[in-house]
Amino acid sequence: MNRTTRFSAKMVGMPRLEEFVNRKGIPVAMVLVAALLSLAMTATAPAAADRWEAPSKAAARPNPEAKNPAAPANGRRSFLQACINCHGEDGSGEGSRAADLRSASVQSQTDGALFWKITNGNTANGMPSFAGLPETERWDIVMFLRTLKQ
């Protein structure tokens, strides 16, 4: 009998605390979360909509390896080590999200633009940055990419 009385006294007390949190605490937290979410969305939305393009200055850079006959073979060696997991040995991307490096949309880009993309990556879309590879190696990879053109 005693236990039941004490228990029901607690039951009466608890909803009051919940009501307080519902009326004061949760609406404030929800407004804050909503405000942060809309801030985050306006900050990221324009970037996601943009096409991934190299700045014109970077795209205009000439390939210093263009006249080196060994460049495509050197580039192939690096490509087999660093790129085939995503782009495949033939550069096709093999049904992954990675770009088809043989395609006209890639091959129509300048050496400078491809060098810039390899250097900076587009990590938000799964293309890593290869700024850690020596610069000559990156230009050699571009020379190799030209051999994939169909």
Q: Which residues bind ligand HEC (CB under 6 A)?
A: 52, 82-83, 85-87, 97-99, 101, 105-106, 114, 117-118, 122, 125-128, 130, 141
Cβ-based nearer residue to ligand HEC, 15 or 55? 55
CB of 37 to ligand HEC, least distance (A): 24
Contact 109, 59 (CB under 8 A): yes
Alpha-helical segments (H) within the chain? 2-20, 26-49, 56-59, 71-82, 84-87, 104-107, 111-120, 135-146
- Of the candidates 91, 87, 71, the one whose C-alpha atom is nearest the C-alpha of residue 144 is 71
Cβ-based nearer residue to ligand HEC, 27 or 132? 132
Q: Which residues contact 149 (CB under 8 A, 6 or more apart)?
A: 102, 107
CB of 39 to ligand HEC, least distance (A): 24
CB of 44 to ligand HEC, least distance (A): 14
Cβ-based nearer residue to ligand HEC, 42 or 85? 85
